């Protein structure tokens, strides 16, 4: 287990985010916690247990591997929905344990029905419709045939949900495209209804769509980035502020990533720091090395750009980020020493390095940066 740094996850912050979102969505809308990508880097098992303790009873994952971790953590206490990959050899486990899953092609639909018949236990399916994302989902022209199959296999298939995913709801530039997708989704539902088939629930909203297009909330919202205290994009945040006529951010960051200084030394004017010649001291400098690098998820693109906090002050990353180490400029800190706390993401005293600013330096999305944080770093619920 990696001991060079720790990621703290705030249960209080998460609860505040959930309370805010449920107030926005209303009590009748199910909030599904999206925990794919190691719970957006927050630590899947740890985060799921915390979220459950905070009242979440529905979790959405990408694949069976993630579903098994959630299942092992919570057993049968919560609903688990697989939105992506289910290998043939895992289909029996999924159905036996009443794990719900997306179907978006005829092969998977047939495989689910066949496996369910063998097990004499219904497969719980969510039918994904292709509405314009052009990734996965049944085309509108095929919905009638799917409906006929569902009628034929009603003894083996429980049609739980009708769903889709929007292409870029976080940007107003995609307004027309998303609006067209909503119309396509409604058409698919109408076709199913004409065969006397109605899903128990309808869902289509991710974090961005749930805020930008209220009509997409339906019966369930699949909330990822918002629950972690981050906005899908600046546009979504500004839209919220304008709609509510407020200047305050209602979200609270859940994650705090910290490490400590492992070495402090001085360099002379004209000396190069680290590999190559990407950084040369233009004056006598005091530098510190910390035991984090790109192997831990601290991007190499943050070389000579990143910022960390020491003694409540912002310190610049200098030189090239190594696999396991990086160097920072601590010249302005008078009493800095080995073992002092370094905050990579989060707050220290009155200063903050947000995930947003962190990703701005590296030209990465919030999502990308978070999911790249090494799984070996311990997650601690506080």
Which residue of the set 118, 275, 338, 375 is catalytic?
275
In terms of Cα–Cα distance, which of 354, 142, 365, 106 is closest to 232? 365
Q: Is 323 annotated as a binding residue?
A: yes
Q: Does the annotation mark 275 as catalytic?
A: yes
Determine contact, residues 275/297, Cβ cutoff 8 Å: no
Determine contact, residues 318/279, Cβ cutoff 8 Å: yes
Determine contact, residues 281/270, Cβ cutoff 8 Å: yes
Which residue in the block uniquely carries the two structure tokens 């209804």?
193
Transcribe 158-213 into DSSP letters: EEEEEE---S-TTSGGGHHHHHHHHHHHHHHHHHHHHTT---SEEEEE-HHHHHH-
d(CA 36, CA 60) in angstroms, rounded, equals: 7
d(CA 135, CA 156) in angstroms, rounded, equals: 27
Give the three-class secondary structure for 27. Answer: coil
**C-alpha triplet 375, 377, 259: angle, nearest 5°:** 145
Which residue of the set 15, 36, 122, 160 is catalytic?
36
Determine contact, residues 42/367, Cβ cutoff 8 Å: no
d(CA 127, CA 146) in angstroms, rounded, equals: 9
Transcribe 257-310 into DSSP letters: EEEE--EEEEE-TT-B-SSTTS-B-SS-EEEEEES--GGGT--GGGTTT-EEEE
Q: Does the annotation mark 298 as catalytic?
A: no
Binding residues: 135, 323
Binding residues for substrate: 135, 323
Catalytic residue ranges: 36, 275
């Amino acid at each position: 287990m990696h001991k060079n740094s720790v990621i703290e996850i705030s249960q209080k912050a998460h609860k505040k985010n959930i309370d805010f979102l449920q107030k926005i969505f209303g009590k009748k809308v199910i909030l599904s916690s999206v925990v794919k990508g190691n719970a957006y880097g927050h630590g899947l098992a740890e985060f799921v247990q915390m979220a459950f303790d905070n009242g979440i009873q529905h979790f959405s994952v990408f694949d069976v591997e993630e579903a098994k971790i959630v299942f092992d953590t919570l057993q049968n206490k919560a609903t688990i929905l697989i939105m992506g990959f289910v290998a043939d050899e895992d289909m029996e486990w999924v159905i036996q344990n009443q794990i719900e899953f997306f179907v978006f092609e005829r092969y998977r639909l047939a495989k689910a029905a066949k496996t369910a018949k063998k097990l004499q236990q219904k497969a719980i399916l969510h039918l994904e419709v292709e509405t314009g994302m052009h990734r996965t989902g049944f085309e509108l022209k095929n919905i009638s045939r799917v409906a006929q199959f569902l009628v034929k296999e009603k003894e083996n298939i429980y049609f739980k949900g009708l769903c889709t995913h929007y292409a870029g709801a976080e940007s107003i530039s995609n307004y027309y495209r998303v609006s067209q997708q909503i119309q396509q989704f409604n058409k698919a539902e109408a076709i199913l209804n004409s065969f006397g088939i109605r899903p128990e629930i309808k869902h289509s909203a991710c974090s961005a769509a749930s805020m930008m297009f209220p009509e997409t909330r339906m019966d369930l919202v699949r909330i990822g980035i918002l629950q972690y205290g981050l906005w899908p994009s600046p546009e979504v945040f500004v839209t919220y502020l304008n709609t509510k006529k407020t200047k305050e951010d209602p979200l609270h960051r859940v994650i705090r990533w910290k490490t400590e200084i492992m070495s402090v030394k001085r360099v002379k004017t004209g000396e190069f720091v680290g590999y190559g010649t990407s950084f040369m001291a233009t004056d006598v400098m005091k530098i510190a090395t910390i035991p984090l690098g790109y192997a831990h998820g601290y991007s190499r693109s943050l070389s000579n750009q990143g910022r960390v906090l020491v003694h409540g002050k912002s310190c610049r990353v200098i030189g090239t980020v190594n696999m396991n180490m990086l160097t920072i400029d601590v010249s302005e800190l008078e009493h800095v020493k080995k073992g002092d706390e370094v905050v990579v993401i989060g707050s220290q005293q009155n200063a903050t390095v947000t995930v947003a600013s962190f990703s701005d330096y590296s030209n990465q999305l919030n999502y990308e940066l978070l999911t790249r944080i090494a799984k070996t770093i311990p997650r601690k619920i506080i």
